[in-house]
Structure 1
Amino acid sequence: VMLRFLILAIIVMTVAGKVYNRLFEDLLGRYNRLIRPSEGANDTVRIAFRLKLSDLTDVHERTQVITTNGWLIHRWFDPRLSWQPSLYGNITSMHVPGELLWLPDIILYNNAHGSPHVSAITKAEVRHDGRVKWTPPVVYNSMCKIDVEWFPYDEQYCDMKFGSWTYAGSQLDLIHLMADEVVEVRTTEGIEWTVERGIDISEYQESVEFDLLSVVGKRHEKYYPCCDYPSIDITYYLNIRRKKLFYTVNLVTPCFGLATLTSFVFYLPCESHQKLQLCISILVSLAVFFLVLLESIPPTSLCIPLIGKYLVFTMLMVTASVIMTVVVNNIHFRLPHQAVPEWVRRVFIDGIGSRLFISRGVREHRKKEKTKKRMTALNAMLILEKQFNKTLFHLEMATRERNEGMSTTQQLFLKLPFAQRSLSVRTNKMKTEKPQAITRQLSTDKSIFNVTARISEKQQDEATKRLRRAERNVHYIAQTLVGRRTVDENTADWHFLSLVIDRILLIIFATIIMSGSVVMFLSAPSDDRKPIN
């Protein structure tokens, strides 16, 4: 039984092969592929045409070219390729190499580079009634004007224009394959036959970078002054939207982080000596982002992309932060011999500083009197007492222990009662400047009188000179301590002023950067349409 089945199958295949050979010879024996398939010389060949999109391979923003893969579906009627199935073993269709048939010369008009013609000539399906279907695969690089105004939250509108390169509209007519979905629209340029789903996306593979929003197909029939026949084309309009995740994570978020760091520059203390280094580092990082951006967008001067505007805004803020950091450092390290101006003290130190809850780390010892008190020896002793946190009694005892070998005059001065040496100091606190001088002189005269009562006139003169010399030395020491205290207070004032200005700039820059970021990215178009793919 198996042997009989195999023999029967071989016989059938042999007969069928002979039938196919006979049909092929009958159809193509006298077929001329150079002649247009029409029954009359003036008849029009109608080509039902449609693009079947496989994937959107790439969008080259810099070169303004999109790369697409797919198939071109052609259907037409060739009366020379018809037969009766009953005469050829009920064969209703056959596949014929495209090189042996007449093929329409449909090309891509807005081709960027590469061949605009169909490069892969595949077999065509020929049916017994003369209908021919040819679906060659194509890879096109078409021109597309890239609008980068809202990059990376942008939408692009690209078109692919197809038409015959050789035949006029009266000889070859392009029509939509989906004739039942065609909508006729009259425009100022002529009549348009529109199909909302002009491109077949049944086998479309989703792009990782763009969403496909619409694929409208329009047939145009235009008349030009040079010719009395129409020029026919079918143009497909692709509306694509960039996916936001990649650029948001890898470009927008780092830019926002750098912009935020710009405000925190003013939170860094001046003593760290790293403020300018941080500013310059942010500036260099922004320059690197600019280079990355320039590689992604076309070199156009028509508009600045959204991310470019944000980078320029951030760079301006960083530049301003560098300038203000230099100013703040200049204030912080100002020479201490120069006091803070009074109006600056009132506005920043006493006014704004207290409202910003900034506390001073150094206590202020500045006196408020308009007139400076006359510095005397005993006043100087009080200053020494405050400076070293010791009383005059402790100073007296320490002096007696270290100066047992002093002269008689010096020892007599140390033997003066403590009340007599500090009498003028207590008197100065309750009286004006002139009575203080008189009281101090009387107290000194009384002390000298008590001393001279027990020593000779020569020893009295020598003791007086030494006392005056000691007074001058103590006065010099007190002035030095007062000067040092003034220097410390001025230094503390400049440091506190720089801290207040830093805090003000921190608030200002943080507010501007946050507001600018929100305004910048809320201005981008928001499209919640779902992709058709």
Structure 2
Amino acid sequence: MMRTLRTATLTLLIVRGFLPAPSFFPPAFCQSTRMSLQDALLTNYSTCGAGALPVADPSTAINLLFGVAIHQILELRGTEQTLVTRLWLRMSWHDDFLQWNPANHGGIETLALPVKKVWTPDIFLYNNVHGEAGGLKKVADVVLDSDGNATWLQPGIFRSACSMDISLFPFDEQTCELHFGSWVHPTSRIDITPGEIDTSEYQENEQFLLAKSEIHKEVRSYDGNATYAKVKVRLQLKRRCDYYKFNMIQPWVILMVLNIAAFYIPADCGERLGFTITILLSLVLFQEVVAQQLPHTSTTTPLLSRFFAMTTGLVSFTILATILVTRLSYCTLPSRLLSPRIRRALLDKVAPRLGMGVSKPRKKLCVSFSDPNNETFIKHDTLISRSNSVCEVTTDHLVKDIAKFCRGFTLYLKAKHDAEDELEECKMAALVLDRIFLIIVGTLSAAQCFYFLAMEPDNC
């Protein structure tokens, strides 16, 4: 009987707050103590404070400690220039009206209160691009200690604007910022102090590496009088380029090599023209794929797009060179694109320096014969007598006709021989020009490729 009385008296004293709750009390008893403490703290809490701030002195500003824990970079959308992140915001402040003596409340030193029943700072994401205004959704409770220090751990997925510089794509680095600050209260009411950035629980992104993260404070005046403080969380992201190496850069290099190899196909063969046009269409397709992954902006041009455009120009130059060489290979009347002087310069000066063995032209055909009209060839005139049925032809007249025929046939052979020599020279000059075009395209392609690969970072 006496033991029961002592237990009831001790329980009453602990519930009233005169004695701390020992550890051997059941959980239900401790929960009842926390509920009573919560009711005691929240009684008339909404009517307390100066200007809706939990401060006893209205002239005192709340010092808000703002920290961030980065958990994941979900996505950096290049076409929309937005950054999607999963963060845990850690905000700490002092509440003058939420304090208690642990000895009077069962030894409770910390208490979690519903976020909608206590004061929380009006923190907004200034550069929010989501459909909402950018305010924080109040989903986590506020943890208090007996001295009135409040801590609010607020998780969330944030979608912020990020201006991207894609001039070095796919070897680019992007710097994105998230701006957090109070929407209503100036620094005279809420002064924000940047805390630490925690990356211990960070999960790596498949497209970007988190190279650096920092947080700093910025104070600006928007209306000319009051100043507002905001915290900038700056994230430096480095793009992973392995995907672009194997899916875009490697095919691009292969197409460039094939474009050079196209010069080894005979120019007068139609296969070279079809082959180079196929390469051109492939480059246009790759360029379209790259354009779909980048922002639609005209301020900067990606590095990969510039090199695709240069390669497209080289392939187009190869097509034009093929058409020109094919046309020069058939140097026939009435249009001859190369004068004899240019042809001889290509054959005598340029071809030996390119290591091309030029066949010597054939000796000109020289045939000498006497003029059938000369009196030394025909000593006397021949008379042709015609009758109604018979035409008498003398021997001298027959010799004269044969001489005329031989002279005409000789001129024909000489003209044909000269035309064949000229056509051979034209074809050889076309081959020399084709070798010059090969050197030009090969040199430009190699320089372009080495310059592009030199832009690749060491740790890409």
Could you state the TM-score of these two structures normalised by the residue count of structure 1? Answer: 0.70
- One-letter identity of the residue aligned with 1:497: A
| Structure-2 change in CA distance of 1:11 and 1:146 (3 Å) | closer
Pairs aligned (count)? 422
| Structure-2 change in CA distance of 1:282 and 1:221 (3 Å) | same
Instruction: Say which of 222, 228, 235 aligns to 1:231.
Output: 228
Which residue of structure 2 aligns with residue 26 of structure 1?
A: 40
Shift of 1:480: 5.2
Shift of 1:174: 1.0
- One-letter identity of the residue aligned with 1:48: L
For 1:297 and 1:164, locate their aligned partners in 2 and report how far apart those are by CA, in whole Å.
Answer: 34
Shift of 1:114: 3.3
Which 10-residue stretch deviates more, 202-211 or 285-294? 285-294
Partner SS for 1:166: coil
Task: Give the conservation status (yes or no) of the 8 Å contact 1:338–1:490.
Answer: no
| 1:324 equivalenced with 2:321 (yes/no) | yes
Alignment of structure 1 residues 158-307 onto 2, 5 Å:
158-177=176-195, 198-223=196-221, 226-227=224-225, 229-307=226-304
Task: Give a deviation string over 1:272-323, Cα, whole Å, max 9, x none.
Answer: 2123223322332232233223223323332322223222322332332222
Instruction: Say which of 361, 370, 373 aligns to 2:367.
Output: 373
Partner SS for 1:25: helix
Partner SS for 1:213: strand
Which residue of structure 2 aligns with residue 500 of structure 1?
A: 432
Which residue of structure 2 aligns with residue 79 of structure 1?
A: 96
Task: Give the conservation status (yes or no) of the 8 Å contact 2:124–2:135.
Answer: yes
Shift of 1:141: 1.2
Shift of 1:466: 5.8
Which residue of structure 2 aligns with residue 98 of structure 1?
A: 115
Alignment of structure 1 residues 328-477 onto 2, 5 Å:
328-335=325-332, 341-359=339-357, 364-367=361-364, 372-374=366-368
Shift of 1:68: 1.0
Which residue of structure 2 aligns with residue 192 of structure 1?
A: none
Task: Give the conservation status (yes or no) of the 8 Å contact 2:209–2:238.
Answer: yes
More helix by share: 1
Shift of 1:56: 1.2
Shift of 1:176: 2.4
Identity %: 24
For 1:493 and 1:308, locate their aligned partners in 2 and report how far apart those are by CA, in whole Å.
Answer: 42
Shift of 1:83: 2.2
| 1:14 equivalenced with 2:32 (yes/no) | no
Could you state the TM-score of these two structures normalised by the residue count of structure 2? Answer: 0.80
Which residue of structure 2 aligns with residue 190 of structure 1?
A: none
Which residue of structure 2 aligns with residue 406 of structure 1?
A: none
Instruction: Say which of 79, 83, 89 aligns to 1:62.
Output: 79
Shift of 1:76: 1.5
Q: Which has the larger radius of gyration?
A: 1
Shift of 1:527: 7.2
| Structure-2 change in CA distance of 1:275 and 1:37 (3 Å) | same
| Structure-2 change in CA distance of 1:327 and 1:342 (3 Å) | same
Task: Give the conservation status (yes or no) of the 8 Å contact 1:45–1:173.
Answer: yes
| 1:119 equivalenced with 2:119 (yes/no) | no
For 2:219 and 2:57, locate their aligned partners in 1 and report how far apart those are by CA, in whole Å.
Answer: 23
- One-letter identity of the residue aligned with 2:84: T
Which residue of structure 2 aligns with residue 4 of structure 1?
A: none
Task: Give a deviation string over 1:16-37, Cα, whole Å, max 9, x none.
Answer: 2322222222222333289321
Instruction: Say which of 113, 119, 126 aligns to 1:109.
Output: 126
For 1:336 and 1:375, locate their aligned partners in 2 and report how far apart those are by CA, in whole Å.
Answer: 30
Task: Give the conservation status (yes or no) of the 8 Å contact 1:37–1:80.
Answer: yes
For 1:23 and 1:297, locate their aligned partners in 2 and report how far apart those are by CA, in whole Å.
Answer: 57
| Structure-2 change in CA distance of 1:91 and 1:479 (3 Å) | same
Instruction: Say which of 174, 194, 208 aligns to 1:156.
Output: 174
Aligned-residue CA RMSD (Å): 3.4
- One-letter identity of the residue aligned with 2:26: V
- One-letter identity of the residue aligned with 1:14: A
Partner SS for 2:260: helix
Which residue of structure 2 aligns with residue 134 of structure 1?
A: 152
- One-letter identity of the residue aligned with 1:354: P
Task: Give a deviation string over 1:482-504, Cα, whole Å, max 9, x none.
Answer: 55444443333222221111111
Task: Give the conservation status (yes or no) of the 8 Å contact 1:55–1:206.
Answer: yes
Task: Give the conservation status (yes or no) of the 8 Å contact 1:336–1:490.
Answer: no
| Structure-2 change in CA distance of 1:469 and 1:50 (3 Å) | same
Task: Give the conservation status (yes or no) of the 8 Å contact 2:185–2:228.
Answer: no
Partner SS for 1:235: strand
Task: Give the conservation status (yes or no) of the 8 Å contact 2:367–2:410.
Answer: no
Which 10-residue stretch deviates more, 289-298 or 155-164? 289-298
Shift of 1:469: 5.7
Task: Give a deviation string over 1:177-229, Cα, whole Å, max 9, x none.
Answer: 3xxxxxxxxxxxxxxxxxxxx422111111222222221211123445632x4
Task: Give the conservation status (yes or no) of the 8 Å contact 1:337–1:487.
Answer: no
| Structure-2 change in CA distance of 1:288 and 1:98 (3 Å) | same
Shift of 1:364: 3.9
Shift of 1:333: 2.4
| Structure-2 change in CA distance of 1:88 and 1:329 (3 Å) | same
Task: Give the conservation status (yes or no) of the 8 Å contact 2:219–2:227.
Answer: yes
- One-letter identity of the residue aligned with 1:344: I
Task: Give the conservation status (yes or no) of the 8 Å contact 1:337–1:490.
Answer: no
Which 10-residue stretch deviates more, 98-107 or 114-123? 114-123
Task: Give the conservation status (yes or no) of the 8 Å contact 1:126–1:133.
Answer: yes
